[in-house]
Structure formats: structure tokens, C-alpha cells
Amino acid sequence: MKILTTLLLLVVASLALARTSEDVPVDHKTINEKQLKTLWNSLDTNYRPCGDFYTYACHNWSDHHKGIQYNYHGVADLLGYEVNLELMEYLEKTPETDVPRFVKLFKDFYVACRETPDFELLDFIHWMEKEENMKWALFTPDDSKDFVFDWATILARFRKYGFNYIFLTESTIYQDANSFTTYLNIPNFKEMFYPIIELEMTEYNETIPLPCGTMNFEELWQILGPFEEKLLKIKAEKQQQPTILKFQELPYPWMQNYLKALMETQVVDPNMKISIDNMAYMEALDNLLQQYDAKFLARYVEIRFFQISHMLIKSPSEHVHMSLARSLLPMSAEWIYEQLHPDLRDEIPKIEQMFENVVKNLNKSLHMDESGIIPKEFFSKLETMRMKVGYLPQENTKNLLDSYYADLQMKPNDYYHNFLKILEFYYKLEHKYFDYANFAKDKEFFYKTPKYAYNTEVKPIYVDELNLLIFPLALFRAPEYDARFEDIFKQSSLATLMGVSLFDAIATNEDFPNEYVEKISGVISLYTSFRVFFSSLSTDQIARYQQVFGFSSVRELKRMFFLNAIHYRCYRYSDVTKKFVNFAVGHLSDFAEAYDCKMNNYLKMF
Ligand SMILES: *[C@@H]1O[C@H](CO)[C@@H](O)[C@H](O)[C@H]1NC(C)=O
Ligand SMILES: *[C@@H]1O[C@H](CO)[C@@H](O)[C@H](O)[C@H]1NC(C)=O
Ligand SMILES: *[C@@H]1O[C@H](CO)[C@@H](O)[C@H](O)[C@H]1NC(C)=O
């Protein structure tokens, strides 16, 4: 196994050298021609645009896009792949003495990830014992004298690694330097909770030898399966306002123990404020837990924690390593990206203007709906939604980022340690006051712990608490956006994506039926970006575009608009996207006209 890994690393290293092929600067004309060619190359003319536009527009995309060592699966993922290449090259070429500390951290993480040998769950278990100076309940005999089977304390120990979805979630928000509120809420079982399956238990049974006198995995499974079923069945009516209690008023001992362990102190301020979103849920949870033995619950929490170690698994691909680094330290990655693309700064006002237009016109289109199908909350969210280009604070960036990451340390050659340290770092950041008073403009970046989620794709991010849409800098590269693109490319891809992202953001709210919103979002976003662009186009501009692209009619220009508008959504395999894209164009008279489709008037929305 070791030999195989080494071989793979060698292959990866040699491929890494063979990469930079397209770094020659290209002029305005060439890049626009190249974009058009990308669109043409993606077409599969065996399909009919009127019948299945998505497959027509995207089917041959994958033939022209094959990553080296990493098979990216769509345009959003391709953007991430190419950003990875640039970041790797930057790290390779830039002397360490020339970079700020937060970039050095980024590099250390990436290199350690590449160099650290893989390890197995059993290694992880022993490694945690050392790292945390702890003993596992799973390995402790039932009759042990010096061990307390206290699941709440065990839960708190793991909480700092982002483990925050068993039984309840905890978060802490500072009002100012001296006052904060801790929130205890129902976890989002639907999204975060994957019940443990028998197969996992069999695997644990086979790979983790437990000492005598403890519950073995078979015994645990007998209790665990039914327990999780009951846990997931807990129902509680929505509570309108959260209940605010003082620490000393908390009704359940485990709740107090949990918070005490989290704060790593024996004496908690009895007047500390706790906000609980749903007392009925907590009561039902308490009822369920009461029926179980402390030894079982302690071991159950640990088995759940094993699932965290799945998150740490890395493949031998250097792209996976870089995507991990990007996901865990997004601000460092953005900062490097900005150094490599200083020209992006000049585009920002234009992009902001585009967003404003999208909001204004989406709002107009939505107001045309008189059926009342669009919920009122939708409009109020739209009114206050803001956008930001890039994650970075705008002023004093370098110093801010250095102070932001000041407490984070990396160990060379210890990827596992580093990963967990980053998770812990985010946890600690959330649990201390960060003085951003002087940086009012940038306060969003220090307001809340960024949620860690491994993602290889480059796509807009929505921060619910702030009603803020972030468009990462790395999104602004071909084929999505380039400063040298003609406006028709910029508008069709970015304004359409902005529209769809706005809807997606609002649809994260559970009050809106998701599938429905996703469907109309495609129609309205495309309609809006198309109309905004073509309604403002003068005859001269149309003539110019036709000449630039060698078209003989406006219709061809319109077709190109639609192709480019959905290009970001091309995937190797995607029935879901196909459904939404085809639904969208099938309801647009502008599309029917551009492609000469017979349109069923019953379908027409715009
Ligand atoms: C796209 O791929 C298909 C085979 O899947 C091929 O027949 C076709 O010629 C390709 N190109 C175009 C422009 O359709
Ligand atoms: C669990 O492991 C033991 C030996 O360690 C074995 O005898 C038993 O059959 C295993 N059970 C399952 C369900 O795999
Ligand atoms: C949306 O449209 C309504 C009605 O025309 C208007 O009152 C409101 O200011 C608009 N909001 C935005 C963000 O454009």
C-alpha cells in the first residue's frame, strides 16, 4: 500500500510540472473568440434545442474537458480545478519570505496534506487519545472505577471540531466585548444527520478490537438502531419566540454539564443567558435520554464522532489537497487569487452595478405575478439583500487577515492535526469577542464562524444571518466571466447566475417550497437577464456584435446569449440541472422566438 501511494505521488508530481499551457496573455479579440468556440464545442447537434436544450448545449462539453489526475465534473468544478493549478504554481514559485503569515499557513496545510501518509480509523482513535489526552468510553470496561460515563462532557469535547449536530446545536454570539448569548437549538436532522447503518457497525466490529468487559459493537448496534429511530421521530411544534433562561434555571443537569464542559470551567456565571429555540423538543429529548444507560450514551456519542474522521479522508490527488486547503482557509486562497489577478479590482464596481440591476429587474418581474404565489417574505428579503465580490475585507486586508489567523499554528507533516486545529480555530473564533469596531465596513467577515464545507466548486455563497451573497473572486474567470469579455458574455452568464443565486438564497428558508422556487427561479432569472440586455441594445451595438462574432442575424446573437447563460450549469451527468434548464427555456417566449420553437402557449410564463 505504501509503495502504491508513493508511486501515485510521483505520478502526481510529474504531471504537476506539465501543467501550465495556457498562461500566455491573450487579447480581447482572442478571448472572446475562444469563449464562442467553447460554446460551440459543447454543442451536440444530434439533440434539438427546442426539445432538450440542456443536452443540446452541454452534451459535448465533457469531450473537450478532461482534467489531468482529477476528473472535474462540471463548469463550476472546472473553475475550481483551474484555480487550484494557479494556486499550486504560486506556492511553488513564490519564496516563503515574500508572503504574509496567513499565506504561509495555507501552504503548510497544503504541503502537509500532500505529504502525510493516510491513516485508518484505528490510528485516528489512538491519535485522538494523545492529542486530547483522553480515554474512550468505548474502550473502558463497564466496572471501571476512575472513569465517568458522561455523554454531555464527551459531546462538549468534540464540539470544538465542528461536531455540533447530535441532540442539540450550540452557538454563541457576542453583543459586545462583555456580553454574549449562547443558543441551544434543535439540530437540523434533515440536513446534518446520517443515521448509522449496520454496515458501518460491522466494519467497526471488524477493525476495532474492544477489550473485555465493555459493550461490543454487536451489543451496541442492538440498542443503537432503535435509539436513533426514536431520536429522529421526536416531534415538537414550532415555538414562536425562543425561551431565554439563566444558567441556573436550566431544567436538565446534562444541559448544564454540557455548557460547563464547553466553557472548560467548573464555575459558570449563574446568570449567564441561554436562548433555547424549542423547550418542547428539549423535554422530549430529555425523556428519551432518561430511558438509556449513561454507558450506552457515552459510547454512542463516540461512535458518532467516528463519522468526523470520514471527513478527514484524503485521496492521492493534489487537487483534492488544494481543494481542502481552499475550503478550510478560504480567505488565504482568495488573497493569493487577488494577487494573481490585480485587474479584478477594477471590475468590482461594474459587477456591483450588475447586481443592483438584477435585483431591480427581478423585483419588477416578480411584481408582475398577481396570483400571490410569491410569498411576501420573498420580497422583504430581496429588499435588504446585499452582495459582496470576494471574501476579503476591503481595507487593511493584510493586517486584518494576519490578526484573524494569528492564533492558528500548523505542524509540518501532520495533516490530521492541522485539519482538526483549523476546525478548532473556527470554533474558538466564534467563542470569543473579535473587535471589529474599527472595520465597520468589513464586519461581516469576523461576525461569525465561517461554516466549513468541503467544496471543489467555485460558486456564490449565501450568508443567511447577514442576508449577504458572496461572489468569490475565483468565480471571475473564463468561461464564467473575464474582464476582457464582451458585455453580452458578461451579462448572460453572470446576471443569470446572480438571479438564480438570489432565488437559491431565499429558498434556503424552509417556508418556501424548494422545487417550485427552483423552477421559477430559472425562468425569471433568464428572462430578466435577457430582457435587460437586449432592451438596452442600440441598432449600432447590434450591428457591431454581429460583426465581432461573424453573425448575419440578431437571432444568432440571441442564441449565443442563451447558450452562454446556461453554460455555467454544464455537467458531465446531471438530470436535475437538465430538468430545471429545460423547464426555464420552455417557458420563455424569447427563447422560442430565438430558436424558432413552436411554443405551447399554456406553458408561456413570459
Ligand atoms: C457531439 O458529439 C456527438 C457524439 O456524441 C457527435 O455526433 C457530434 O458530431 C458532436 N458535435 C456536434 C457539434 O454535435
Ligand atoms: C464481530 O466480531 C467478532 C470477532 O471479533 C465476530 O465473531 C463476529 O461475528 C462479528 N460480528 C459481525 C456482525 O460481524
Ligand atoms: C420592488 O418593487 C416594489 C414595487 O414596485 C418597490 O416598492 C420596491 O422598492 C422595489 N424594490 C427593489 C429592491 O427594487
Q: Is the pLDDT of residue 14 over 80?
A: no
Q: What is the pLDDT of residue 20?
A: 42
- The lowest-confidence range among 20-34, 232-246, 249-263, 533-547 is 20-34
Count CB neighbours of 338 within 10 A. Answer: 17
Q: What is the pLDDT of residue 332?
A: 94
Question: How far is the C-alpha of 113 from the C-alpha of 360, rounded, in Å?
Answer: 45
Q: What is the pLDDT of residue 513?
A: 63
- E strands along 213-297, which residues? 243-246, 273-276
Cell of 483: 474582464
Candidate from 44, 61, 63 with most ligand 1 atoms within 8 A of CB, to mutate:
44
Q: What is the pLDDT of residue 373?
A: 67
Single-letter code of the amino acid located at 192: M
* C-beta 432 within 6 A of ligand 3: no
User: If you count them, how many residues does the chain have?
Assistant: 606
Q: Is the pLDDT of residue 593 over 80?
A: yes
Instruction: Report the range out of 24-38, 155-169, 486-500 with the highest average pLDDT.
Output: 486-500
Task: For residue 240, count CB atoms less than 10 angstroms from its CB and return exposed for 0-12, middle for 13-18, buried for 19 or more.
Answer: exposed
Q: What is the pLDDT of residue 508?
A: 65
Q: Is the pLDDT of residue 33 over 60?
A: yes
* C-beta 43 within 6 A of ligand 1: yes
**Mean pLDDT on 182-197:** 89
Q: What is the pLDDT of residue 598?
A: 87
* C-beta 135 within 6 A of ligand 3: no
Task: For residue 566, count CB atoms less than 10 angstroms from its CB and return exposed for 0-12, middle for 13-18, buried for 19 or more.
Answer: buried
Average pLDDT of every residue of the chain: 88
Question: How far is the C-alpha of 427 from the C-alpha of 410, rounded, in Å?
Answer: 16
The DSSP output letter for 459 is -
Question: How far is the C-alpha of 552 from the C-alpha of 563, rounded, in Å?
Answer: 18
Identify the residue with better confidence: 508 or 23.
508
In the 3-class helix/strand/coil scheme, how is 546-560 assigned residue by residue?
A: HHHHCCCCHHHHHHH
For residue 479, what are the contacts with CB-CB under 8 A and spacing of at least 6?
Answer: 35, 38, 75, 78, 493, 567, 568
Expressed in angstroms and rounded, the spacing between residue 47 Cα and the centre of ligand 1 is 9
Ligand lying nearest the CA atom of residue 47: 1
Question: How far is the C-alpha of 533 from the C-alpha of 538, rounded, in Å?
Answer: 10
What strands, in cross-sheet order, belong to the sheet with 461-463? 386-389, 468-471, 461-463
Predicted confidence (pLDDT) per residue in 216-264, tens digit:
999 999 999 999 999 999 999 999 999 999 999 999 999 999 999 999 8
Predicted confidence (pLDDT) per residue in 567-590, tens digit:
999 998 878 899 999 999 999 999
Question: How far is the C-alpha of 154 from the C-alpha of 146, rounded, in Å?
Answer: 15
Ligand 2: which residues within 6 Å by Cβ?
Answer: 202, 205, 218
Predicted confidence (pLDDT) per residue in 85-140, tens digit:
999 999 999 999 989 999 999 999 999 999 999 888 999 999 999 999 999 999 99
- The lowest-confidence range among 89-93, 241-245, 322-326, 506-510 is 506-510
Cis peptide before 479 (omega within 30 of 0): yes
From atom 14 of ligand 1, which residue's Cα is the shortest distance away? 44
Ligand 3 atom at minimum distance from 360 CA:
14
Q: How far apart are the first and last CA of the chain?
A: 59
**Mean pLDDT on 475-492:** 96
In this prediction, residue 280 has a pLDDT band, given cuts at 50, 70 and 90, of very high
The DSSP output letter for 571 is B
Closest CA to 167 of 257, 21, 285, 312: 285
Residue 273: what are its φ and ψ, rounded to 5°?
Answer: -90, 130
